[in-house]
Chains A and B, each alone.
Chain A
Amino acid sequence: MSKQTGFYQRFPLARRIEHLAMLLSFTTLGLTGLPQKFPSAGLSVAVVNLIGGIENLRSIHHVAAIILMLGTIWHLMVFGYLAYVRRTRLSMLPSLQDVKDGWQALMYNLGIAKSFPQMGRYTFEEKMEYWAFVWGTLVMVITGFMMWNPLSTVKFLPGEVIPAAKAAHGGEAVLAVLAIIIWHMYGVHIKSSNKSMFTGKMSEQDMLHEHPLELADIKAGIAERPVDAVVLRKRQRIYLPIAGVVAILMLGGLYGFVNAEKTALTTVDRQQPTVQVFVPQTFTPAPTQTPTLPPTETPLPASQQPGTGSTPVASSLTWDNAIGAIFQNKCGSCHGSSATAGLNLSTYVDAMKGGNSGAVILAGDSDESLLVIKQLAGGHPGQLLSEEILQIIEWINAGALEK
């Protein structure tokens, strides 16, 4: 590590960029994921509306997930390089010492231990943070894959793992977000303002407080293990091609992850059920008699055909024995003594006299009798039944006798 006026470089630029990418993708994932876990919360609705709907929210969530996975692939490649080519100390690996450090720190905070533990490049707090992130990412990527590709998943696993994956994804999300807020926020923003992840540098003073063992190693010149240039070149020649292939495979896997299944995500045009809306029931016709037989269709017996001649046709029907009663029952309301339109059908004499339009019954000629014409046309208030009309026609043609 190069020492520059009391500052030590802690994180190279690439690592800081990596952190920034993870920071942004993680935050985005949390902001777009939690509303999906708690759809009924008012805040969730507000977030969804702000982003322009649930589908947008999901798209953003997916993009952020892709960035996080790309970052993870990059991280693994860098790890491989450092571990194999540079052979740096695997200072992030957890050890028993971390447990001891954690315990001592706790005891110190409680006033039981006399001193705070002296720690190296990564404190137990930072290691916990890192490995929690590794665990979380692993869970999220696996369960995320299952939800993103349910059809592929159930080829190998029972269907139940899809909702189980969703449960784990949501549970882990709550855990991760809250852990970041409690642990990370406190550790690097509240406890002390540690900006080294953004500036890349840490002051000697801070190094002494936070990472005294690393500072000692740096000062002793044993923090880094220099690698012979030839050996370095040789290892690079081995590592880089392998890493390239592995990276391509992983990127291919990521591509598959994202694109393998489209049907679950893209719109399958919903086939709206098409129903014939207007299908009226077929009614049995209302029980109306057929008083409105068109004149031409009146099925009269030949002997009673109207207008077959002026010769009276013999008939037993008379005003007294039938016709008068029909008029009284059916026509009397209007053409009784009230004589609507001047026509009074209550007595034989008045009936034969007719109304305002003149005679309505022409003895022997039902064809020309207004009463018959009106009734056959139909629609007259007090419409007679067809058999009644037939009787009246028969009666008129027979001479419209009173007795």
Chain B
Amino acid sequence: MNKWIKRNTLPVGLVCVSLGIFLLLLVISLPSTPVSAAPLAQGEKLTNDDCLACHQNEGMTAQIGGQSLSLTINHEDFSASVHGEENVACVDCHSNITSFPHPVVNAGSPRDFSIKMYPTCQKCHAEQYQKVLDSVHQKAIASGNENAAVCTDCHNPHTQTRLTDKNTGKLLPEARLSIPDKCARCHSTIYDAYKGSVHGTALTQGNADVPTCIDCHGVHNIQSPTTNSFRNSTPFLCSKCHTDQSIMGKYGISTNVLNTYVSDFHGTTVKMFEETYPDQPTNKPVCTDCHGIHDILKVDDPNAGIAFKKNLLTKCQQCHPNATTQTFTDAWLSHYEPSPKVFPLVYYVNLFYKFFIPTVLGGMLFYVLTDIYRRFIVPRLGGKGGSHK
């Protein structure tokens, strides 16, 4: 008997209990509301449970402009989200909803609805929203490109978990690993290139040292990466990590790459050019011209690594089409500091001048000083001088 009751009454009981709680809540919150579609009393805010009562039902959809938009909210996902954690109410964002039936959605398509909806994020995320206003995505939206990302494309407001540390505001390591997935939704081919790169491979293996999309492109105020300014500043962008011994030391990568680049002809030019005309085009190479952009490989990659002269030559030929001999590649020191072993000729020329200059100038200076002494100082001391007689 007991068994029978247990087997048959438990689900019903559960439904009854939850329904009862809900109804109780409803009764408490709407003590005098008659059983009708009348709007809720002023000042009464719908609770998330009110909304979820319907919206957690599987398969709820709405038709907007002939396209289907899912209206189902997974209660567990939402509870686990940062908005759920922080007890954000549905109606904090969906602020025009105060009752059922809901107001008519005034949008041409689900996409149009998202675009109309995202400014609501600024109510809580003003700083990020302001940055977004300056972004390439926002410019695309403003020019009528509905494909460009808005807040909710990267951060699903119903499921987005916490990305930054609550206290420090720093990006959480696990959040870092998931960033490229977000961008990949729209930039899938770029993501594919990144995935195969030295950075992307490491990231997918859980290495948070490597750059994700936002380390180079920024976040929220993402700028167009095809501008001259962006290109001219590339060496300084890459060197943020590549001159950091605390990161590079782990992988045995030289931190001297910026110095060696700037002291070379190309780097000198780009550096000085960037100082004067940051927004003008230069034809001198920056990091990405030889190393690649999203598809950066290890320099000793057996197939395309530019530590191999034949691979490097193809890079040289992008600007020096007449360069046909691999010896030409040695005209670039490949970020090496000349030493007796690597580029000895350059090393010894430098060494020669290191001694030659002080020797010659020192000799000259010594003679000049003796001449000053004899010509200008000795006469003042009452001695013989001045004239060569």
By a CB distance below 8 angstroms, the chain B residues around A54 are 268-269, 272-273, 276
Contacts A171-B353, A175-B361 given; indicate if A158 touches B22 (C-beta within 8 A): no
| B331 adjacent to A150 (CB under 8 Å) | yes
| B319 adjacent to A168 (CB under 8 Å) | no
Contacts A178-B357, A183-B364 given; indicate if A263 touches B262 (C-beta within 8 A): no
| A150 adjacent to B262 (CB under 8 Å) | no
By a CB distance below 8 angstroms, the chain A residues around B4 are none
Instruction: Select which of A105, A268, A330 is within 8 A of B319 by beta carbon.
Output: A268
Give B327-367 interface residues, CB cut-off 8 Å to A: 327-333, 338, 343, 345-346, 349-350, 352-353, 356-357, 360-361, 364-365, 367
Contact with B along A339-373 (1 / 0, CB 8 A): 11110100000000000100000000000000000
By a CB distance below 8 angstroms, the chain B residues around A341 are 36-37
| A191 adjacent to B371 (CB under 8 Å) | yes
| B55 adjacent to A159 (CB under 8 Å) | no
By a CB distance below 8 angstroms, the chain A residues around B265 are 147, 166
Residue among A264, A330, A339 facing the most chain B CB atoms (10 A cut-off):
A264
- Determine the distance from Cα of A29 to Cα of B109 in the docked complex, in whole angstroms: 66
Contacts A40-B271, A109-B371, A150-B328 given; indicate if A383 touches B57 (C-beta within 8 A): yes
| B357 adjacent to A288 (CB under 8 Å) | no
| B35 adjacent to A378 (CB under 8 Å) | no
- Determine the distance from Cα of A342 to Cα of B318 in the docked complex, in whole angstroms: 76
Q: Does A142 contact B (CB under 8 A)?
A: no
By a CB distance below 8 angstroms, the chain A residues around B343 are 160, 163-164
Q: Does B281 contact A (CB under 8 A)?
A: yes
| A279 adjacent to B188 (CB under 8 Å) | yes
By a CB distance below 8 angstroms, the chain B residues around A106 are 367, 370
Chain B, residue nearest A292 (CB) = B61
By a CB distance below 8 angstroms, the chain A residues around B388 are 108, 115-116, 209
By a CB distance below 8 angstroms, the chain A residues around B55 are 381
| B371 adjacent to A263 (CB under 8 Å) | no
- Determine the distance from Cα of A45 to Cα of B346 in the docked complex, in whole angstroms: 26
By a CB distance below 8 angstroms, the chain B residues around A289 are 58-59
Closest chain B CB from A177 CB (angstroms): 10
Q: Does A39 contact B (CB under 8 A)?
A: yes
Selected interface stretch from B62-70, B80-88, B207-215, B241-249: B62-70
Contact with B along A43-57 (1 / 0, CB 8 A): 011001100111101
By a CB distance below 8 angstroms, the chain B residues around A116 are 388
Selected interface stretch from A195-203, A226-234, A270-278: A270-278
Instruction: Select which of B15, B58, B63, B262 is within 8 A of A379 by beta carbon.
Output: B63
By a CB distance below 8 angstroms, the chain B residues around A183 are 364, 368
By a CB distance below 8 angstroms, the chain B residues around A382 are 54, 57, 60
- Determine the distance from Cα of A268 to Cα of B320 in the docked complex, in whole angstroms: 8
Q: Does A336 contact B (CB under 8 A)?
A: yes
Instruction: Select which of A174, A338, A383 is within 8 A of B61 by beta carbon.
Output: A383
| B272 adjacent to A35 (CB under 8 Å) | yes
Give B71-112 interface residues, CB cut-off 8 Å to A: 71-72, 100
By a CB distance below 8 angstroms, the chain B residues around A108 are 374, 388
Instruction: Select which of A35, A44, A105, A339 is within 8 A of B35 by beta carbon.
Output: A339
Instruction: Select which of B68, B268, B352 is within 8 A of A171 by beta carbon.
Output: B352
Q: Does B323 contact A (CB under 8 A)?
A: yes
Q: Does A236 contact B (CB under 8 A)?
A: no
Instruction: Select which of B70, B319, B346, B389 is within 8 A of A164 by beta carbon.
Output: B346
By a CB distance below 8 angstroms, the chain A residues around B68 are 288, 292
Q: Does A329 contact B (CB under 8 A)?
A: yes
Q: Does B240 contact A (CB under 8 A)?
A: no
Contact with A along B132-166 (1 / 0, CB 8 A): 00000000000000010000000000000000000
| B54 adjacent to A381 (CB under 8 Å) | yes
By a CB distance below 8 angstroms, the chain A residues around B271 are 39-40
Q: Does A72 contact B (CB under 8 A)?
A: no
Instruction: Select which of B19, B61, B332 is within 8 A of A291 by beta carbon.
Output: B61
Selected interface stretch from B114-122, B179-187, B198-206: B179-187
| B63 adjacent to A378 (CB under 8 Å) | yes
Contact with B along A265-301 (1 / 0, CB 8 A): 0011111110111111100001011111000000000
| B61 adjacent to A55 (CB under 8 Å) | no
| Given pairs A160-B330, A268-B318, A273-B293, 15 additional interface contacts (CB within 8 A) | A49-B275, A54-B273, A108-B374, A159-B328, A159-B329, A163-B346, A166-B265, A167-B349, A171-B350, A182-B361, A267-B283, A268-B319, A277-B190, A290-B59, A356-B37
* A–B complex contacts, Cβ < 8 Å, 5 sampled: A53-B272, A55-B269, A277-B190, A289-B59, A379-B71
**Chain B residues in the interface with A (C-beta under 8 A):** 15, 19, 22-23, 26, 35-37, 53-55, 57-63, 68, 70-72, 100, 147, 184-190, 226, 262-265, 268-269, 271-273, 275-277, 281, 283, 289, 293, 318-323, 325, 327-333, 338, 343, 345-346, 349-350, 352-353, 356-357, 360-361, 364-365, 367-368, 370-375, 378, 383, 387-389
**Chain A residues in the interface with B (C-beta under 8 A):** 35-36, 39-40, 44-45, 48-49, 52-55, 57, 102, 105-106, 108-111, 115-116, 132, 147, 150-151, 154-155, 158-164, 166-168, 171-172, 174-175, 178-179, 182-183, 186, 191, 209, 261, 263-264, 267-273, 275-281, 286, 288-292, 328-330, 332-334, 336-342, 344, 356, 378-379, 381-383, 385
